[in-house]
Amino acid sequence: MKNIDSISHVTGKSVYLDDIPVQKGTLNGAIFASSVAHGKISHLDYSKAEKISGVERIFSYKDIPGKNQIGGIIEDETLFAENEVHYQGQPILLVIAKSEYIARKALSLIEVKFDEYEVITDPRVAQEKGQLLFPPRTFKLGNTDDAWSKCEYIFEGKVENGGQEHLYIETQGSYAYPIDNGSLRIHSSTQGATLVQKMIARILDLPMHRIEIDVARLGGAFGGKEDQATAFACMVSLAAFILQKPVKIALNRHDDMRMTGKRHPYSSDFRIGLSKDLKILAFKATMYQNGGAASDLSPAIMERTLFHSTNAYFIPNTEVTVYSCKTNLPPNTAFRGFGAPQGMFVIESAIAKAACQLNISPIIIQEKNFLKEKDEFQFGQIAENVNIGKCYEISKKTYNLDLLEKQVKEFNTKNIDFKKGVSLMPICFGISFTKTPMNQARALVHIYQDGSIGISTGAIEMGQAVNTKMVQVAASVFSINTERIKIESTNTTRVANTSPTAASSGADLNGNALRIACITLLGRLIDTAAKILNCNSSEIEIKDEHVFRNNQKTEIYWEKLIETAFLDRVCLTENGHYATPIIYFDKTKEKGHPFAYHVYGTAITSVTLDCIRGTYEVDDVKIVHDFGNSMNTIIDRGQVEGAVVQGIGWMTMEELSYDKAGKLMSNSLSTYKVPDIYSAPKNIEIIALETKGPELAILRSKAVGEPPLMYGIGAFFALQKAIKAFNPKYKIDFEAPLTPEKVLMRLYQC
Ligand code: LUZ
Ligand code: MOS
């Protein structure tokens, strides 16, 4: 089945926030943000700006009737700065005017002065000064201290990864207006409708039932709208509530890039110990997470780094500690992979370092240490249905890995100016929100009298085609045509207390809730059919829009059945609730069973490096991916392809740069380079591992959003190999992104 939005997307008819027809008299907002990264506001005067014709009002923290606080996990983030500012781009005031043009004009008349404080952008410096957002955490298995003496080889190193701009095509924005009874309706480009609702209620000091959030779809999010859509929705709501007028903000790209947080850069130290036969006996790492100026989702992201710090390997003795460091950057936030890519990059770097020192291929170490059935993860969960070995075996055979490695060697002996490199990147990604209570969802299903169906779930459509999957779930339970099914907007008055659509779990959680609702309705319809046919319900089945009795097709078709049920006063509406079973986690022990299941896969990446210029091409990414029993191969493959390219971008070309004063220098698309069609791999092959899939995945079709991003890490190591082939003096290091400039420096390192 094609994405149900594909036609309206390509014809430009799909409605995003900025396409919603606004009410007459809608006002626009512009944000006055800090121009310094750390300081005290010593003078602030906006009286001139207020006098401009068309300016309706300027809001500061003093106008907030409730709490000036939008911190989701830890309450450490104000909506508007009070006396101090902590990053460049931090909102101080909100100008509301008759047009965005006027609002922006007013910004230039606002007078502000700061007493500037010391700016910290380096997480290690922050940690040394005791600037932590919250206490560090450590995950342990076995005993590393005892293990080192048993190791034949021990290697150490340092790893750096950069951040990543989300660059969703649709920027952050929100539109709010008063409705009846002193309530507000807010359209928000958010992954987390309930979170937005809760924070607006908090800043306005209103009960949540007075705040209605509606989301049609997002033009991309990638984690950037899990938490950080909230501030903008709060701002328009504050203005709309106080002025009792409709208010809208849609950020321009420049403001979006400078005001919002990104993927967390990490700086890490590792130590790895191996036995003579190359089993990894011990792994110890300390990671410094660059959290930015407020906690945002950093505690949860730290947790996922810890959960994935051994990637797809079993290591009997591990000890990994993460510090979340407070720096003067915009609060860093969720980004596809949610801390896991950063953790995986460190263990892969440790393996690459060991292999380089031992003068062998890292693949030899990788394959010897793959996770096996019933191995224990460092967080206590016992690995079940482990598919990493299978993916690797298929990959090795089908893609002829040995031959490929040989061919690369041959190419490198024959060529001087061009070198090739090849790498293997395994993945193992846990599915479920690491915070157990978030793993719940609801769905509301109406069957209308004519047999058509309207469905509301908590899932947010952001281009990943979750709505298409919802249609498939309902159609499969009822055995009816997909055209009968419509997915409504995500709205907090229809589906309440939603978890954000995140953690790759949108389809699993909402799909299961929907399935439960549909199964209940189906039961009622079967009873109705049995009543019409005067038989036992167990004899009835609904198949291909018809009622079957003892496998015999009857005259009763779908519409007839629904009409009869309605006239018989059967309830044709149902609400389904789903909570993932089995999972739990005990934070006091840092042990539990946090994930419903894991997604596995391998990617073989080959690159060709131009050793004169430092430029390169990714020739192939050859993947074996564990989709479970994919319910939609077109959509799932699209997710893998997109994730691979996004991962390669993070590892090789997307470079965020800040100056010493904490200003984002790479603040536009001319200075921040994301992969385009020319830099995408020339060839991406995907083989689906054949399995029946886990019961806890929706229709046994595994979550697919985030895991394949980490295949992109392979590009880093393939490039590193190619550099080494050209310059044997290159002392391998682990500093991502490996941009062409950095590659060039390493090619001629002596
Ligand atoms: N968001 C979240 C996530 O709140 N918890 C998670 O575990 C998670 N994992 C991946 C992406 N977003
Ligand atoms: Mo996400 S990183 O699943 O919002």
What is the distance between the terminal CA atoms of the chain, rounded to a whole angstrom?
Answer: 55
CA atoms within 13 A on the CB side of 98: 4
171 contacts 251 by C-beta, under 8 angstroms: yes
CB burial of residue 96 (10 Å; 0-12, 13-18, 19+):
buried
Judge if 233 and 85 occupy the same domain: yes
> What CATH number has the domain bearing residue 194?
3.90.1170.50
pLDDT digits (tens, 9 = 90+) for 622-649: 999 999 999 999 999 999 999 999 999 9
The radius of gyration computed from the CA coordinates of the chain, to the nearest angstrom, equals 27
Q: In this structure, is residue 501 part of a structural domain?
A: yes
Provide the 10 A C-beta neighbour count for residue 169: 10
My answer on whether 636 and 700 are in the same domain is yes
The answer to whether residues 472 and 1 touch, using CB atoms and an 8 Å cutoff, is yes
Residue 127 lies in a domain: no
Q: Are residues 395 and 450 in the same domain?
A: no
pLDDT at 343: 98
Mean pLDDT of the chain: 98
Decide whether any atom of ligand 1 lies within 6 Å of the 743 Cβ: no
Q: How far apart are CA 585 and CA 591, in angstroms?
A: 6
DSSP character for 375? Answer: P
- DSSP-derived letter for residue 371 is -
- Give me the pLDDT at residue 172, please: 98
547, 579, 611 - which closes a domain? 579
Residue 278 resides in a domain: no
Is the CB of 191 inside a 6 Å radius of any atom of ligand 2? Answer: yes
Residues 466 and 533 in one domain: yes
Statement to judge: residues 505 and 394 lie in one domain = no
- From the list 401, 345, 363, 372, the residue with the least C-alpha distance to 278 is 363
Is 490 among the domain residues?
Answer: yes
In whole angstroms, give the CA distance from residue 392 to residue 626.
11
Beta bridge partners of 491: 214
Residue 393 lies in a domain: yes
Counting other chains too, the contacts that 548-553 makes at CB distance below 8 Å and 24 or more residues apart are none
What's the CATH code of the domain at 506?
A: 3.30.365.10
Q: Which of 244, 259, 274 is the last residue of a domain?
A: 259
Are residue 574 and residue 594 in the same domain, yes or no?
A: no
Give CA–CA dist 557/395, Å, rounded.
48
Q: From the CA of 291, how far away is ligand 1's center (Å)?
A: 16
Q: Give the pLDDT of residue 516.
A: 98
The reply to whether 287 falls in a domain is no
- 195 close to 221: Cβ distance less than 8 angstroms: no
pLDDT band at 568 (very low <50, low <70, confident <90, very high): very high
Asked if 94 and 69 sit in the same domain, the reply is yes
pLDDT tens, position by position, 62-74: 999 999 999 999 9
pLDDT value, residue 429 = 98
The string of pLDDT tens digits covering residues 660-686 is 999 999 999 999 999 999 999 999 999
Q: Tell me, what's the pLDDT at 672? A: 97
CA distances to 96, 185, 305, 445, 494 from 209, rounded to whole Å, are 26, 11, 36, 21, 12
Ligand 2 proximity of 226 Cβ (cutoff 6 Å): yes
Predicted confidence (pLDDT) per residue in 696-729, tens digit: 999 999 999 999 999 999 999 999 999 999 999 9
Measured from the Cα of 303, ligand 1's closest atom is 7
What are the pLDDT digits (tens) for 296-349? Answer: 999 999 999 999 999 999 999 999 999 999 999 999 999 999 999 999 999 999
Last residue of a domain, one of 579, 612, 638: 579
CB 55 within 8 A of CB 108: no
- Which atom, in ligand 2's list, is nearest to the CA of 334? 2
Shared domain check, 89 and 211: yes
Q: How far apart are CA 334 and CA 336, in angstroms?
A: 7
Whether residues 604 and 709 fall in one domain:
yes
Please confirm, yes or no, whether 488 is among the known catalytic residues. no
Average pLDDT value for residue range 235-247: 98
Query: CA 174 → CA 32, 219, 240, 722, distances in Å?
Result: 17, 13, 11, 47
What does the pLDDT read at residue 444? Answer: 98
In angstroms, the CA 164 to CA 233 distance is 23
Ligand nearest 431 Cα, by number? 1
Is 631 a domain residue? yes
Ligand 2 centroid to 243 CA: how many Å? 34
Tokens of 708: 């394949």
The ligand 1 atom at the shortest distance from the C-alpha of residue 336 is 11
Q: Which of 170, 212, 706, 735 is catalytic?
A: 706
444 with 429, same domain? no
Handedness of CA 189, 191, 197, 203 (dihedral sign): negative
Please state, in angstroms and rounded to a whole number, the distance separating the CA atoms of residues 196 and 202: 10
Tell me, yes or no, whether 143 lies in a domain.
no
Which pLDDT value is given to residue 163? 98
Residues 542 and 639 in one domain: no
pLDDT tens, residue by residue, 150-205: 999 999 999 999 999 999 999 999 999 999 989 999 999 999 999 999 999 999 99
Q: How far is CA 677 from the centre of its chain?
A: 22
Three-class SS of residue 597? strand
Query: Per the structure block, which two tokens stand in for 606?
Result: 């080959």
Q: Is the CB of 223 under 6 A from ligand 2?
A: yes
Mutate to test the pocket of ligand 1, among 301, 501, 580, 710 (most ligand atoms within 8 A of CB): 301
- Cα distances from 384 to residues 375, 416, 430, 508, in angstroms, run 8, 47, 12, 19
**Residues 372 and 253 placed together within one structural domain of the fold:** no
DSSP letters for 445-473: EEE-TTS-EEEEES---SSS-HHHHHHHH
468-503 pLDDT, tens digit each: 999 999 999 999 999 999 999 999 999 999 999 999
Give residue 521's domain range: 440-579
- Work out how many domains the chain is built from and give that number: 3
Q: What is the per-residue pLDDT for 247?
A: 98
